[in-house]
Every structure is written in structure tokens, then in C-alpha cells.
Structure 1
Amino acid sequence: MLDSAQLLAELVAVRSVNPLLSTGGPDDERQLGEHVAGLLRSWGVETELQEVKDGRCNVIGHLPRRGAGDDAVVLLTAHMDTYPQGGPSAAYQPVRDGTMLYGRGSADAKGSLASMLAAFHRAARAPDRRESFLAATIDEECLLLGANALAQHHMRPTLAVTGEPTGLVPIVAQKGIIRGSMRVRGPKAHAAYPKPRTAITAATDLVEGVRRINADYAATATAGDLSAPTLTLTRIDSDGGMNLAAEEVTVWFDGRFLPGVSGEEFAAEIVGRLRTAVPADLDFAMNELSFISPPNRCPTGNPILAEFFTAVKDVTGRCEPETFAYGSEAGVLAGFSAASLVFGPGDARFSHGEIEGIDLTEVNAAVQIFERLLIGGVC
């Protein structure tokens, strides 16, 4: 039987910082991808490298249906990229302390990847199993490049599970995310000859307009599980100088929206709402979005979903699905899967922190749950 704790320690020991977050040195997921691909191939699993960008590849393992396995298709995914290291308990050297294993990526999301790999190892030797895919993806932490590349693959899963630290709680719905910027313009002005309206004062009107939009969303929100959409301003830049009023101000934002609309539709809605919330002469425009993470809502009544919930309850003693407003690959996976959800061992409060660790008892429980999903009703 494969030791999932040892497997996780091996994964943590391979540095795989997202290059867009790197603080120095050559960083990406390639070395970890080669390690994962080597493991899968050594177990006799059909394995391919799907190049995504600049030699960075998703690793995709495939197990064909065997024996009494039904015709459902399962996809397990977990991302390989991490944030840079934090303190000594969030570095690239795994540290074991009782049932805890510490190290960068242990919770987010190498704990999920280790449990999925261990379950795949078991399913590879099972006489009966469903057709299954395991994808170790790149770039979840920044642009979702890996998950978007999976959409171009031929797989069409009945259920896709993306691994994140959820404490073994299934996350069946999440908000979508858009990020981008809006440009505000005003007349050129020298401080010696001030003008009553500049790009800076216009930007304050835009900020007030965003406040009104958020208030409207909150006031009209239904008592749903995901609450209301939100628009958060995250940064303001300008071309102003020591004694020159800015002619252009850029206001950056992060918007969170509900299932049922696309990122582009939500952006258009925001612009429309702003037009009525700011002065008519305000010169502003939304730039092209820099990031879109689709929302997700797992459809009810899916038999394999009910089976998964039963496995979670049998192994952990409880199954109370929840929702969240964080980002994950689930919304992208929903675009080519019949159902998609987020699930994995670990506590999200450890993600990206100065301390990052995971309880190995949760990792082992996740292995059992994923194995049951891969084997299906014949288990």
C-alpha cells in the first residue's frame, strides 16, 4: 500500500512556485510535473504531458474502465503551483510533527494531490473501476491557465473534483471572479492654476459610485447561500506629478459574482450600473478584463454526486456541503463536466501563510473517499 504521508513529503520537497509569484530564482511547476508523471508511469498509468505555456505542462493520467465499473467518468484535479515559502514551517523541506506535516504547499494543494495520487495508485490495481482521469495542473494561483487548457482535452467527466483545503467538506457552489481596471480622465492642470475638476476628483466620484453599487447589491440580496455580488477596489494609480494634476487615473478592482452570468456579462452590468451612479459628465471606461474565474453551482439530483456525499459521510462521519466566495478551478471544470465541486484535506487558513501544514489523518481519509469514487458502486 502506498504511504500517502511519504508521498506528500516528496511533493512538498519539490519547489513549484508559480513564476508570476516568484521572489527570485527559476520557478515553475516543471520539476514537480516530471515527478508526478514518473510516479504515474511507474504504476502503469497511461500518462501525457499537456503543454500549456513556456514548457509548463499539465500532467494527465488516465485509467480506462475495467471489469464491473459503470459508465461514469471521474476527473480528479489538483494544482501543482504554490506561493513562495513563508517561515520555517512553510518552506520547501517537509517537517513532520505527530499527525501534522508542515511545508509550503502541504495544504494548498499538495495534500489533495497526494491523496488523489494514492487513490489512483489503488484504482490502477483494482479489478473493477470507472474510467478516470487525474490532472495535476499548473497556474491555479494566478491565471487558471492549466484548468483552461484541460477544457481542450477530449475528456468529458460525469463528475470533476478539484482539490483544495476544504477540511473534507464538499463545496458545491462558488462565486465567480473578475479582475481588471477602469480608466478615469480629466483635464491637464498645473497646481499654480488649479481646476475644479480633475481626473483625481473624477475618480472620487467613481469610488462613490462603486460604494452605491455595493449598497444596492446588499439591499437587494436574497437569502441565498452565496449572498450578493460585490465589487472591491484594490488599487489606484495615476500619471500625476509633484505639481501636475493627473490626466488619467486607473482604478483596479476585484468583482465577485453569482452563478448564472458570465464574467463578461457581470463586467457589462457593472458599467451599466456605474453610468447611473456617477455624474453624467464623468469620463470613464472599463479596460479589458485581466482575469476571469467562472462561478460554479453543482447540479442537484446527480446520482454520482449522491454517491460521493455518501462516501464522505461514511469515512468522516458527516457530510454537510457548503459554498464559498474564493477562487478555484471548479468553475472552469464545470464548462466541460456534467458536475463539478471542490473538495480536499486541509485547512484553508494555512494557505499562503507563514505557517502551512496539514493533518495527515485528513489526507488518509481523502484517499479512502477518492478510492471509492474511482471504484464506484462495485467497491
Structure 2
Amino acid sequence: MAEAARLLAQLIAIPSPSGAEGEILAFLEGWLRARGFPVAAFPVPGHPWPNLVVNPQPRPRLLIDVHVDTVPPQGGAGPVGPVERDGMLYGLGSADAKGGLVAVLLAVEALGAGQLADSPITLALTVDEENRGRGAEALARGCRPEMVVAVEPTGLTIGVAEAGTLELALEVRGRAAHGSVVEGGRNAIREALGLLRDLEALPVMRAEHPRIGQGAVTPLFIQGGERALVIPERCLLHLDLRWLPGIPRDRFLQEIAGVLARYPVAWEIVDLSAPFETPEEAPLVQAMARALETVGLPAIQSGMPSWTDAEPFARFGAQAVVFGPGDLSLAHTPAEHIALAEILQAARVFQHLLEAFARP
């Protein structure tokens, strides 16, 4: 417990927002090399820092992927960290995903450099997950693992399904008029609100997945109007739409485009990432279940409602799951924290998983 707390506190104390991962990468490289692990840099196009890869292989049987970046520090109350209290460690990145990173490092340390070198296992420490996902994208294109575990806070459940995402930037147009002559104008803010309601009413948004829940339309940014008594002629929107597994791409996009066609709006796709679902009988899911049961934990399957590094690997054909300690709802908040006991449980799970794959 003390070792986990000390290592996690060191990682939290190193700021690592996307694009500024250099210091934490240097720390991790030093930590790994001190324990005999050779480390290779894997360049990431368009990003200032590389991924770090331990025991690189063109096609590993198992790849453990954990990102080292965080979101930028947010305003408001709450520590950037680290603060330890009542068996919890508070701080930015504690749950997403530095606590999971500690669990993986402890498991790899227990396995040892020699056994890892003789195994079909690769460890990847990726950059840019919280921004554009370029670290995992580059690695997935250059390395085609058979199976991938992306480390994220799942509360020690096996994330076998992941929602896709459609991120849209929109400019809703209206017609300006004096604020008291509402009949003479067309209010762009009202048009934007109507567009949101119509999107939320779509069948693809009202659909439900047993492990993820319902589709969702999330406004991330809205700006429109001015103080002067003028009907606003412009409203800017940035939306994130949750795309559930099982919904075909063409149907998903056609329903959304149908709504947008009814409004005076210019729009562009900022990001489009497909959902995926790994079957219960897949060897990786079964291996994760055995590792959990070996340490006395239930093998519960779950869904991940957001994009993770698992997506590009699944797109290129890997069996993929998401797994790790921590509560996703606390991530990116001033109250972010993680239980140290849960990190140790995750480390034991990872240790059993690694040992199972390292056996000849």
C-alpha cells in the first residue's frame, strides 16, 4: 500500500496535460530502466512527444495500453494533488488514469524484465488520449496486437462494449431584428434549442444498450447573442453525440443529417469514432474473468460510455476491453480521487493476467 501511494503521489505531482507529457515520460522511462526494462520511443505524428513501449513487437499477443496524459487543470475548488486522506489519494489524474498506471507498473515489476522479454506481451504508455487520441492511433497503425486492454477507471469491471462518438461544430443562423420586434427576426438561439430537441428525439439517440445505457446528445459549448436588444442572428454549438454499439454507421449519420437539413445551420464533423463490442466468449474476456476470479473478485462485464485508446486497436481487428481501478464519474472533476486498496486489487489482477500470457 505504501509503495502504491508513494508512486501514485509522484505521478500526480508531475503535471501531464495532453501536449506536455515530457516530464512524466522521462520519469517513467527512468523508473522502468532502473528495474531492467528496456524502453523504446514510438513517434506520434503531429504530437511533440512519443509513446513509450516496453518489449515492442510487430504483433504482440497481448498489449496493455495506459495513457499518461490528463486533462488540463480546471478552475474551482479541489486539489490538483496529491492529497492522501482516509485511504484515498486525491488529485488530477488519480483515477484517469494514473491509478491504473500504478497498478500496471506494480504488476510488470512483479513479473520481472526477463519474463516480460520472453513473452508475447507489450506495454504501451501512450500520449494524447485526452485530446485527439493520436498516441493510440499511431501505435494501432504500426503495431497490430491480437488483444488489447486499455486501462481506464471501470471500477474493476470488464468493459466489453464502448460507445462511439460524433463530435460536431455547428453555426446556427438566424435573422437580426430589434429585440422588441420578435416577428421581424429569426432567433438563432431558439433555432439551436429546437435543433437540440430534435436530435434528442431521434431513434438512434433514444436507443439503449444493456451495458452502456441510452444514446446522448451533449452540448459542450454554446455561444450566441449580445447584450444589445437585438434578436441574435448567430449561435455557435459544439455537440458530442453518443453512438451505441449495434447501430450501423449509415443509419446513425443519416438520422442526424436529416435533422440538420431542417435547420439553417452550417456544420462540420470534428471527430467520428465508431463503437465496438467484444463478445463474452472472446479469449481476452475469458482471460480477464479468470484473473479477477483468481484474486477473489467478481467478473462483471460493463460498458464504457466514452472513447478510449481501445478504439483504434478494435478498429484494426484486435479483441479489446477496457479495465482498471477507479470511478469514471470522478474523472475530470475537482474531487477526483481513487482508493489505494482498489489499485492493489487491480495490480493483482494485472499480475495474474500477465503471468497467464507469459507462460510458454
Query: Structure 2 length as normaliser, TM-score?
Result: 0.84
Secondary structure of 1:34's aligned partner: helix
Secondary structure at the counterpart of residue 315 of structure 2: coil
Select which of 26, 43, 60 maps to 2:35.
Answer: 43
Query: Any idea what the Cα deviations from partners look like across 1:134-188, whole Å, max 9, x if unmatched?
Result: 12222222322222222232x2222211111222111111211222222233445
1:191-340 aligned at under 5 Å gives the runs: 196-200=184-188, 204-217=190-203, 221=207, 224-238=210-224, 242-260=228-246, 266-275=252-261, 278=262, 282-285=263-266, 287-340=267-320
Shift of 1:320: 1.1
Match of 1:24 in 2: none
Q: 1:341 corresponds to which residue?
A: 321
Kindly indicate whether the alpha-carbon contact (under 8 Å) linking 1:236 and 1:252 is maintained by their aligned counterparts in 2.
yes
The residue identity in structure 1 corresponding to 2:51 is N
Q: Note if contact 1:170-1:319 (Cα within 8 Å) is conserved in structure 2.
A: yes
CA distance, structure 2, for counterparts of residue 207 and residue 50 of structure 1: 45
Contact 1:188–1:247, Cα closer than 8 Å, also in 2: yes
Q: Determine if contact 2:209/2:244 at 8 Å carries over to the other structure.
A: no
CA deviation profile, 1:202-246 (whole Å, cap 9, x unmatched): x53453243234234289636643344332334433476725444
Q: Distance in 1 between matches of 2:101 and 2:8?
A: 8
The CA deviation at 1:316 is: 3.7
Give structure 1 stretches of 5+ with no counterpart.
20-27, 66-70
SS of match in other structure, 1:56: coil
Tell me the equivalent position of 2:13.
Answer: 13
Residues 190, 225 of structure 1: CA spacing in aligned structure 2 closer, same or farther, 3 A cutoff? same
Q: Which of 49, 53, 62 is 1:60 aligned to?
A: 53
SS of the aligned residue for 1:252 comes to strand
Contact 1:76 1:134 in 2 (8 A): yes
Partner of residue 102, structure 2: 114
1:45-86 Cα distance to aligned partner (Å, 9 max, x none): 332223334522222212669xxxxx9611111221224177
CA distance in 2, matches of 1:354, 1:299: 36
Tell me, yes or no, if the aligned pair for 1:184 and 1:199 is still in contact at 8 Å: no
Equivalent residue, structure 1, for 2:146: 158
* Mapped contact 1:90–1:357 kept (Cα < 8 A): no
* Residue 89 to residue 133, structure 1, CA distance change in 2 (3 Å): farther
Matched residue SS, 1:290: strand
Contact 1:50/1:60 (<8 A) preserved: yes
Using structure 1 for the length normalisation, give the TM-score. 0.80
Matched to 2:95, the amino acid is A
1:308 & 1:294 partners in 2: Cα distance? 24
In 2: Cα distance, 1:266 partner to 1:204 partner: 25
Task: Supply the distance in 2 between the matched residues of 1:194 and 1:304 (Cα, whole angstroms).
Answer: 60
Contact 2:12/2:98 (CA < 8 Å) preserved in 1? yes
> What value does the CA root-mean-square deviation take over the aligned residues?
3.3
SS in 2 for 1:41: helix
2:159 to 147, 158, 171: 171
- My pick for the range that moved more, 238-247 or 303-312, is 238-247
3-state DSSP of counterpart to 1:110: helix
Unaligned runs of 5+ residues in structure 2 are none
Between the aligned residues of both structures, percent identity stands at 30
1:132 counterpart residue number: 121
